Structure 1
């Protein structure tokens, strides 16, 4: 049964339709693999009994001829999505014991499509981090190893590190992620898988624990471009419960994978070549440009002049929204409560005990930039710069169809490395944050290996609600890259 975990979603669907194996057998194989690779700490909560019950129901529907688009496919759900009757923690101590009585719209859509829930995946606390080291439930380990130092434990990226590690380690066929400033794309790059942050509003945010409401967006993570397209088809759609959900039709993203990109223009931004850019990252980027040229696309140099302001803009806007969103965690209604001598004392003690260091840092930054006397100087100005960044992209897309950049400035780094200085950690998202600020779709796919045998990813950025073109170009790049490497021993 172990070979079943190496199938892609598309392959598994075809094989189950042919009767080669059942959803129950596929799910059992993943449950066994999860147990064998528990040391990665990818899951916070495993739900094997729930999964097997859902798999049996999937088998019944397939026999009845009513199979959904993801019928019987075992997935992991990032523990930021509320799941009815299943512990939901956002990887934070402050949500201890929180078991929702409702299902997030995205996870409900996946269940309607027939997906099977293997469990809830680990993440950076409240999705705040680039390493998956800030989780209350411990760090997630990247299944990949350096060839020069196989004993070193590497980070999977963040915040969707548990999702990326689980898909890479073949203990989930796909996973949900959320992306605020790069939290789908950066871990996808670090773990050698594919992940897409759709256009803001493409997927409902209802039932997802909020970090920064104007930036958070759910998306799929899987091992191939086609698998991500299949997942996004199920996840996306307008939701009247979410005021930011766009009333847009959902195309069949998988049909966009035609393999034909002749005549398309691909933007290559000058500002994404900073001094000191990692030589291996640059080499993979240049290789990606050549793949697209060989396929009939035309690379075009473009300028996104306000890119250099994206990182400081993000780290004003996102913490400001986080400080507002996280004010609801007070020990009164749900989650952790630490008794105090007064209501204010209970608030202080609960939050001090419940929130980790990175979350407290961002709450304090956010509260500061929203405070009287500083709002105009910081938050209001950051919003103006954000509009300028979005305008840069709008102008660029007048002349190009898609934009190609690196996903991350390096390959995965070791646990404990680069972590003393929070600013150094925040720089992991330097290539992904501009896309998030503009609300655009961005996809990362594996494009090669570093000299140390670690995955390196490339990012494709598209026009608003034009995920189809992003998928089309990504499919061509995936075929050219022929990335078949996997973590050793998986």
Structure 2
């Protein structure tokens, strides 16, 4: 078999079981593709020795008939996941040289299932960003191009390295994390599938924290079936994470029938934003028609507090970040600044954090500290928490009225050029999360599915939002949408 790195998880799994290919061969093909794609800057810590050793073990398991679905499949791990003995920096200078003595629960579950780790993937620093331009490793690059334009495009963020690697066939799938859209937005920008499960479905233990009440891990894959396969391996109760749900994990792949007859799909009027590009509006309308043709009932719904979601998110997330990032002080691990004669512990804190944190992280920590301060706690943080409750209730009311899933755009545009949204205007960058943050605030599952191309040949995604804990039903609806959209476009190889 040729072009092994271009296989989907499901195709590779079946080929492994049939004896058509070995995990070692699959892994070698991916490692070769990774080395040839350094210009994309997707993989920032390569682990070929670990990969090939795990591939050998996986081949033995497959021969012995002891092989879970993910066994032998080469994947990438976002740099936010702690991996034992492998650099885990969260793309930050302050964690330079940090090699954990433990494995995150999610990456351990994937390893236990026989998945092969190819290396660690680029991302925005501490997952703070929507373009992968805040990384200490430098920008990750989208493998897609605008027509004949050579300008480098963002793969989205914060899981930009994961998205670029999957879209460019450097790995069969990758892990991502989603705090306000960091799986779904880059998936939409690169023409792949990304699902954020219900908050609590996947353990957060061993994942470097950004905003603890919003963070959730999920898979980034080439299609919906692959997302179902990988998500099942990532889910499960973890006693080390107090927010982990003690619920049985269903066989998500078995639920992919594509039958959505009688399902009620909501179209929220509040998501029709002023200035929405015509291409996004058309894609959304086309998506609704596709689901209707597949047998679903399309209904208009209202989520009245949506307009407050973005400001509420950018109070709550920085507040939690300022608390979580207080641990990076130069005392226990990571970077410690050089001190001058007479400097004390206060100077060590100040210099270490000033040198170690990038500008976007500094900005959010300062905002978070401000909104938590004594004079502004009630005016900002408590008010944002109340708004969050109202947003959650909006969704509860809609689902209680019989709606099974909600269809929205995934992003307000296709991928933009690196450097086009400068640091001088962070608010413009924050607006990229306008369609995704409500899902995190309400703790709901959401998935981005590629559904079309814009006028310049760039992929566009649609988002489906599901009921809590009903990822199987959400994946099946996404599967029906994927089949109807028939998206098969791939980036032309230029790297």
**TM over 0.5, shorter chain:** yes
Q: How does 1:399-414 map onto structure 2 within 5 Å?
A: 399-414=402-417
How far is 1:469 from its partner? 1.3
Counterparts of 1:285 and 1:173, CA distance in 2 = 28
Counterparts of 1:84 and 1:416, CA distance in 2 = 34
CA RMSD after TM alignment: 0.8
How far is 1:424 from its partner? 0.4
- Which residue number corresponds to residue 276 of structure 2? 277
Q: How does 1:80-479 map onto structure 2 within 5 Å?
A: 80-149=80-149, 151-340=150-339, 341-398=343-400, 399-419=402-422, 420-479=424-483
Aligned residues: 489
Contact 1:448–1:483 (CA<8 Å) still a contact in 2? Answer: yes
How far is 1:2 from its partner? 5.1
Counterparts of 2:338 and 2:330, CA distance in 1 = 9
How far is 1:339 from its partner? 2.8
Contact 2:125–2:134 (CA<8 Å) still a contact in 1? Answer: yes
Structure 1's unaligned 5+ residue stretches are none
**Which consecutive segments of 4 or more residues in structure 1 shift more than 4 A?**
none
Secondary structure at 1:397's aligned position in 2?
helix
Counterparts of 1:131 and 1:246, CA distance in 2 = 31
- Which residue number corresponds to residue 16 of structure 1? 16
How far is 1:418 from its partner? 2.0
Structure 1 length-normalised TM = 0.99
How far is 1:148 from its partner? 4.7
Contact 1:2–1:33 (CA<8 Å) still a contact in 2? Answer: no
How far is 1:370 from its partner? 0.2
How far is 1:208 from its partner? 0.2
- Is 1:483 the equivalent of 2:487? yes
Counterparts of 1:221 and 1:2, CA distance in 2 = 23
> What is the CA deviation profile of residues 280-322 of structure 1, one whole-angstrom value per residue up to 9, with x for unaligned ones?
0111111100010001100000000000000000000000000
Structure 2 length-normalised TM = 0.98
How far is 1:38 from its partner? 1.0
Secondary structure at 1:29's aligned position in 2?
helix
- Which residue number corresponds to residue 73 of structure 2? 73
Structure 2's unaligned 5+ residue stretches are none
Counterparts of 2:320 and 2:209, CA distance in 1 = 9
